[in-house]
């Protein structure tokens, strides 16, 4: 699956647009597009699970929660900076995802979905139970000292700082930059993972579990791996999400609606297209907010959003990726 | 050729455990009036959970999809009932009219938004139900948003005193109504030609077609029935959720219904009911005896339990082990 | 006299794979017609094309009316009973429920008919309440036949009734098919790999190879044909 020149050009074009955007559009819209970046990372991860291995999860908000809380706690207790914090959230959630994947190995289809639902509900209740360490319903706040990218002092080892100019409060442009920078890096990582043997194995798991077993693919290994990777991505997204939330990690932010939002994003994206992920992320990031700004419909954005979700699925059941595939077929004919 | 075990050793063990549980409850009720009060309450609310769980199971059996909108649909029909009462209908009149409306609405939704995608993609169908969830929320807020409303009590506030135990009319009524609905649905499936056709359409759609069954129509009727059961669940659960009729009241019930369906097995109607009652009773006993565990922890506890059960029995307690035809 | 069933230039595909190439055949009322051929020739697809299980083009006329785009449920209502590969019975339901389902398109009481059907399938009569999945192979095939027959069809499509059965049972099944044909006037179009027994039961036959009819004629003619004898009859 070599990327052809036109595809590379499109990627560069999109990257160019993204770089210019914060200077063109309003501050609030910059924040929105920044959020799209966060959703991009999460949906990219979930798409690896759902699109490539066909396992449906309605609980990946839980991994965003774990990632977000990890960052907030590391910042609060160890003044860890945001990049390292996000990396640790990524790694921790990878482990958590692997663990859950192993646990849920025997489950499939709807039962797996219900198990992920159980995970989502349970994880978001934990802060309420262990409120001293996890902050209860008010959540954990990241330390305001950690608005720099690198530089950290732990166990007496001092790594030099690298500060970005700007106020102590995280600005919308800053969030935009961080979100999309991570998104770019993680996108490249995903592309590398999926084009190789691992990606083929994932597709084998999705297309036919039985055939995959017969052809010697260690189905369990790859199913679990898919969980781990998708969880890691959601963890990173969760960490940046907390940054965007003024450093607050709160249980309400990571409720079931978030998991459903991610799933909608993955479905709109469709199976097997990285462009689709961009469309999916934009759909769930922008649509609910756009309808609030249309004056006549004020307050009824749920009706619009819900109807939009239904219509999109009816028109494009295989998501954006499906539409692309159909277009390619037409072009060939 | 598929050889189906009629009663395996596993089933026997599960039935034995359930029997032990039932005996435990019975003994508890006889020895402690408090225990009995909690149990009665638990059975009643469990019935409501079970009704919604059965709705989920009906749809799952036919289409292999979890209908995320089942709870919100039930909430919607409850608001419809409220509206009918506002327009002058007595409670029970509104109840039956609502059931009819729910049936038609369920059928209509299946034809309009589910049928186009159900054969093409499982995930698209699931997302459509999620979209319905959001849409219904929005519509209810639009039409009935604003000041708080309340429904009249279907069974009044009285209670019977049975051997020192206060048994509220409400709980007996809830249990009775749900049981009656279940009996109706059961009879439909067991004794009527239509019910048989619906079962056949769910089991083997291709073979059912060859016998002349219009499978798509059967699926629509299935959705209608599920919506009807959901309406019953909503109307019966509502009095237990507080003074006011709030749009969020079914969300908690849906979660418990999921748990019940997972516990009992998504393919088993009986499992859904038993699961629902089990969860209802467990919940009532937990709230009653261990209030120090914050009420928010009930849910994760229930789910941790279910997760544990699913690990051991991946298709739920009553689920059939899937024989994969290679 | 026009035939009960006529296929004219019927084609069928599975996605991009073209399986049937302009098939034409006719089934007279009251006859048993056999379609023979090797694996993968398209015999099953032919039956599926008739019952509407698979999309097809070309003309199919049944009892004087064209079948158009009717799906399987519609063709069942028109009077065609298709016993598919895999028998089309419901393993999870009881024998009685399977039969009841077979009579789905019928109105009114079917009790008399059920009794009549049971006289042809005594083995099933004793097993009414048994789950169909627990029946033996031969009994399941009989159940499939009974389910189709109780539909009171004008035409029955049989897909490889001998598959997976011991010779004694195969003989029994075909005996029942011949009985239904003679006593009840049931027209049968059957598809078989076992050419020997198929030609014994049928009056006319077609030979299908790679989606095309290569030979047709009465059973006697086919049995006398050297190529048929070599390839399908083994002598």
DSSP states of B43-68 as a string?
A: HHHHHHHHHHHHHHHHHHHHHS---T
Taking chain A, what is the end-to-end CA distance rounded to the nearest angstrom? 21
Whole-angstrom distance, CA of residue C152 vs CA of residue B80: 47
Q: Identify which of C26, C27, C32, C37 has the alpha carbon closest to the alpha carbon of residue C203.
A: C32
Q: Identify which of B302, B299, B284 has the alpha carbon closest to the alpha carbon of residue B28.
A: B284
**A213 has pLDDT over 70:** no
| Angle of CA points C80, C86, C87, to nearest 5° | 45
Whole-angstrom distance, CA of residue A33 vs CA of residue A286: 8
**Pairing state of beta strands C32-36 and C204-209?**
parallel
Q: Do A295 and B113 touch, CB atoms closer than 8 A?
A: no
Helix, strand, coil percentages in chain A from 3-state DSSP, rounded to 5? 75, 5, 20
Share of chain C above pLDDT 70, in %: 98
Whole-angstrom distance, CA of residue C71 vs CA of residue B214: 9
pLDDT for the residue numbered A153: 42
State the pTM of this model. 0.86
Whole-angstrom distance, CA of residue B221 vs CA of residue A123: 38
Whole-angstrom distance, CA of residue B49 vs CA of residue B257: 5
Question: Chain B: nearest CA to C159, how far in angstroms?
Answer: 13
Per-residue pLDDT tens for B186-199? Answer: 999 989 999 999 99
C residues 62-81 closer than 8 Å to B (CB): 71-73, 76-77, 81
pLDDT for the residue numbered A155: 39
pLDDT for the residue numbered B295: 63
**A331 has pLDDT over 90:** no
Per-residue pLDDT tens for C93-122? Answer: 999 999 999 889 888 777 888 888 888 888
pLDDT for the residue numbered A250: 83
Q: Do C91 and B4 touch (CB under 8 A)?
A: yes
Average pLDDT, chain C: 88
Per-residue pLDDT tens for A144-172? Answer: 554 444 444 443 344 444 444 434 445 77
Closest CB to A128: pick one of B262, B296, B310.
B296
Per-residue pLDDT tens for C20-59? Answer: 998 999 999 999 999 998 888 889 999 999 999 988 888 9
Which of A224-238, A280-294, B117-131 has the least mean pLDDT?
Answer: A280-294
Closest CB to B3: pick one of C51, C82, C134.
C134
In A, which residues are within 8 Å of B124 by CB distance? 267, 313, 317-318
pLDDT for the residue numbered A143: 61
Per-residue pLDDT tens for A8-38? Answer: 788 888 888 887 777 777 777 888 888 999 9
Which residues in chain B show pLDDT less than 50?
A: 1-4, 6-7, 322-326
| Selected residue with higher pLDDT from B288 and A297 | B288
Whole-angstrom distance, CA of residue A163 vs CA of residue A176: 17
Q: Is A121 on the interface with B (CB under 8 A)?
A: yes
Per-residue pLDDT tens for A69-113? Answer: 998 888 777 777 777 888 999 999 999 999 998 888 778 788 888
Per-residue pLDDT tens for C153-186? Answer: 999 999 999 888 888 889 989 999 999 999 888 9
Which residues on adjacent β-strands are paired with residue C5? Answer: C27, C62
Q: Do A226 and A190 touch, CB atoms closer than 8 A?
A: no
Average pLDDT, chain A: 79
Size of interface B-C (CB pairs under 8 A): 74
DSSP three-state, residue C14: strand
**Pairing state of beta strands A157-162 and A150-154?**
antiparallel
List residues of B whose CB lies inside 8 A of any C CB: 1-4, 6, 193, 196-197, 199-200, 203-204, 206-215
Which of A216-220, A237-241, A264-268, A285-289 has the least mean pLDDT?
Answer: A216-220
Sign, CA dihedral C81-C86-C87-C88, equals negative
């Amino acid at each position: 699956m070599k990327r052809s020149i036109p595809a590379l050009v499109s990627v560069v074009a999109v990257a160019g647009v993204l770089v210019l955007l914060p200077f063109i559009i309003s501050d609030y819209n910059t924040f929105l597009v920044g959020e799209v970046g966060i959703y991009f990372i999460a949906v990219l991860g979930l798409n690896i699970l759902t699109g490539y291995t066909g396992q449906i999860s309605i609980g990946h908000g839980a991994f965003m929660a774990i990632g977000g809380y990890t960052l907030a706690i590391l910042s609060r207790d160890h003044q860890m900076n945001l990049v390292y914090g996000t990396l640790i959230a990524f790694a921790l959630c990878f482990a958590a995802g692997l663990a859950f994947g192993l646990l849920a190995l025997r489950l499939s289809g709807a039962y797996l979905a219900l198990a992920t639902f159980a995970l989502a509900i349970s994880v978001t209740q934990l802060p309420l139970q262990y409120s001293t360490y996890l902050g209860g319903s008010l959540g954990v706040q990241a330390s305001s000292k950690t608005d720099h990218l690198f530089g950290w002092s732990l166990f007496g080892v001092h790594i030099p700082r690298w500060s970005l100019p700007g106020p102590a409060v995280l600005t919308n442009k800053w969030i935009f930059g961080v979100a999309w920078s991570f998104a770019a890096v993680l996108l490249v990582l995903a592309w590398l993972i999926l084009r190789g043997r691992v990606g083929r194995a994932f597709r084998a798991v999705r297309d036919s579990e039985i055939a995959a077993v017969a052809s010697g693919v260690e189905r369990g290994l790859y199913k679990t791996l898919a969980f781990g990777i998708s969880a890691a991505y959601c963890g990173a997204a969760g960490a940046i999400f907390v940054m965007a939330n003024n450093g607050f990690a709160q249980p309400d932010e990571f409720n079931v609606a978030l998991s459903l939002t991610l799933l909608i994003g993955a479905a709109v994206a469709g199976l097997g297209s990285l462009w689709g992920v961009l469309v999916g992320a934009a759909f769930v990031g922008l649509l609910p907010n756009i309808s609030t700004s249309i004056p006549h419909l004020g307050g009824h954005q749920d009706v619009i959003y819900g109807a939009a979700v239904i219509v999109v699925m009816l028109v494009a059941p295989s998501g954006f990726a499906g539409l692309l595939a159909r277009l390619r077929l037409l072009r060939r004919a | 050729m598929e050889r189906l075990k009629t009663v395996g050793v596993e089933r026997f063990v599960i039935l034995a455990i359930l029997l032990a549980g039932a005996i435990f409850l019975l003994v508890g009720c006889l020895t402690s009036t408090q225990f009995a009060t909690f149990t009665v309450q638990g059975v009643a609310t469990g019935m409501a959970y079970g009704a919604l769980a059965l709705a989920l199971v009906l749809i799952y059996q036919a289409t292999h999809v979890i209908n995320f909108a089942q709870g919100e649909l039930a909430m919607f029909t409850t608001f419809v009932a409220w509206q009918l009462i506002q327009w002058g209908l007595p409670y029970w009149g509104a109840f039956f009219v609502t059931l009819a409306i729910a049936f038609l609405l369920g059928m209509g939704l299946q034809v309009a938004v589910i049928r186009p995608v159900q054969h093409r993609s499982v995930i698209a169908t699931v997302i459509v139900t999620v979209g319905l969830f959001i849409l219904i929320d929005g519509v209810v807020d639009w039409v009935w948003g604003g000041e708080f409303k309340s429904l009249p009590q279907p069974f009044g506030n009285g209670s019977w005193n049975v051997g020192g135990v206060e048994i509220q009319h409400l709980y007996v009524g809830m249990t009775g109504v749900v049981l009656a609905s279940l009996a109706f649905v059961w009879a439909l499936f067991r004794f009527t030609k239509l019910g048989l056709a619906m079962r056949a359409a769910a089991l083997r759609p291709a073979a059912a077609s060859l016998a002349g069954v219009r499978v798509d129509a059967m699926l629509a009727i299935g959705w209608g029935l599920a919506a009807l059961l959901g309406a019953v669940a909503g109307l019966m659960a509502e009095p237990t959720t507080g003074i006011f009729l709030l749009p969020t009241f079914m969300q908690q019930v849906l979660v418990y219904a999921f748990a019940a369906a997972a516990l009992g097995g998504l393919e088993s109607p009986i499992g859904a009911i038993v699961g629902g009652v089990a969860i209802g009773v467990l919940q009532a006993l937990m709230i009653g005896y261990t209030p120090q565990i914050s009420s928010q922890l009930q849910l994760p506890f229930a789910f941790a339990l279910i997760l544990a059960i699913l690990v051991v029995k991946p298709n739920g307690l009553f689920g059939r082990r899937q024989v994969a035809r290679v | 006299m026009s035939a009960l069933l006529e296929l004219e230039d019927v084609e069928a595909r599975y996605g991009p794979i073209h399986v049937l190439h302009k098939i034409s055949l006719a089934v007279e009322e009251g006859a048993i017609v056999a379609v023979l051929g090797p694996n993968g020739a398209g015999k099953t697809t032919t039956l599926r094309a008739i019952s509407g299980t698979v999309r097809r083009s070309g003309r199919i006329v049944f009892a004087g009316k064209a079948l158009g785009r009717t799906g399987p449920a519609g063709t069942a209502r028109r009077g065609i009973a298709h016993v598919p590969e895999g028998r089309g019975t419901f393993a999870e339901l009881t024998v009685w429920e399977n039969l009841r389902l077979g009579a789905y398109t019928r109105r009114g009481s079917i009790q008399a008919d059920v009794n009549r059907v049971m006289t042809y399938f005594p083995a099933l009569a004793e097993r009414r309440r048994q789950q169909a999945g627990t029946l033996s192979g031969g009994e399941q095939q009989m159940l499939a036949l009974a389910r189709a027959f109780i539909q009171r069809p004008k035409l029955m499509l049989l897909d490889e009734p001998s598959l997976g059965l011991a010779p004694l049972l195969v003989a029994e099944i075909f005996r029942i098919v011949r009985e239904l044909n003679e006593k009840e006037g049931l027209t049968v179009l059957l598809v078989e790999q076992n050419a020997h027994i198929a030609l014994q039961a049928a009056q006319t036959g077609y030979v299908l190879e790679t989606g095309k009819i290569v030979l047709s004629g009465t059973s006697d003619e086919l049995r006398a044909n050297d190529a048929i004898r070599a390839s399908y009859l083994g002598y």
